[in-house]
Chains A and B, each alone.
Chain A
Amino acid sequence: EAQVTQNPRYLITVTGKKLTVTCSQNMNHEYMSWYRQDPGLGLRQIYYSMNVEVTDKGDVPEGYKVSRKEKRNFPLILESPSPNQTSLYFCASTYRGGSTDTQYFGPGTRLTVL
């Protein structure tokens, strides 16, 4: 089954404790993205990756890091989480990232930073 998986689905942590949210897709897609979803703000792109070893900042990259060592995986890293990073996070992948391509979303990770 074609899918995007994220882990963990739920996470409660404390300020400053490094964490990683994993994202994996089995569709051989080149383009992957991370978004955060906040009430009244919709989805905002954090980082994206055009292909292996190619990543770039989205609209709200501060406080986040990513890596793309393999095509299928695109982890999101919070080196020193803060309460304003409490949010719902989605990973997405797209075949080529062209203007007509559909994004496939993971189920989401709800992060709470205390």
Chain B
Amino acid sequence: GNSVTQMEGPVTLSEEAFLTINCTYTATGYPSLFWYVQYPGEGLQLLLKATKADDKGSNKGFEATYRKETTSFHLEKGSVQVSDSAVYFCALSGWDSGGYQKVTFGTGTKLQVIP
């Protein structure tokens, strides 16, 4: 079946540092890839997505490129802020054996940015 592997957290960075959160996946076919963010006490929100190989998703200074050759979708940001402190989930959307769309989430990576 499909699976998503994220780097374990927590990740602690100083403000303005460079962020990378690794995400790799296994899937049949051509899944869509997503990053969701969960701020404390809230539900998940879509951060960015990419629907085909070599697509780059971007939002709020975050970027991720769909790399089919390395089955990866790493999240990057050039300069993090305290307000970026949250849990980040990598996810893929594919098709299960019954022909239904199914979203598979990684375990989440907690980011803490300190002033």
Contact = CB atoms under 8 A, between A and B. Distances in A.
B81 interface: no
Contacts of A43: 44, 89, 105
Contacts of B44: 43, 90, 92, 103, 105
Chain B binding surface SS class: strand
A81 interface: no
Interface residues of A, number: 26
Given A41-B107, A105-B44, A99 B89 contact: no
A50 B102 CA distance: 11
A102 B98 CA distance: 21
Interface stretch (B14-22, B45-53, B60-68, B69-77): B45-53
B100 A42 contact: no
A97 B108 CA distance: 22
B105 A103 contact: no
A22 interface: no
Contacts of B102: 45
Contacts of B46: 102-103
Interface of A: 4, 31, 33, 35, 40-45, 48, 50, 56, 90, 92, 97-103, 105-108
Interface of B: 4, 31-32, 34, 36, 41-46, 49, 51, 89, 93-95, 98, 100-103, 105-108
Given A4-B43, A102-B46, A108-B43, 7 more contacts: A31-B101, A41-B107, A45-B102, A99-B32, A99-B93, A105-B36, A108-B42
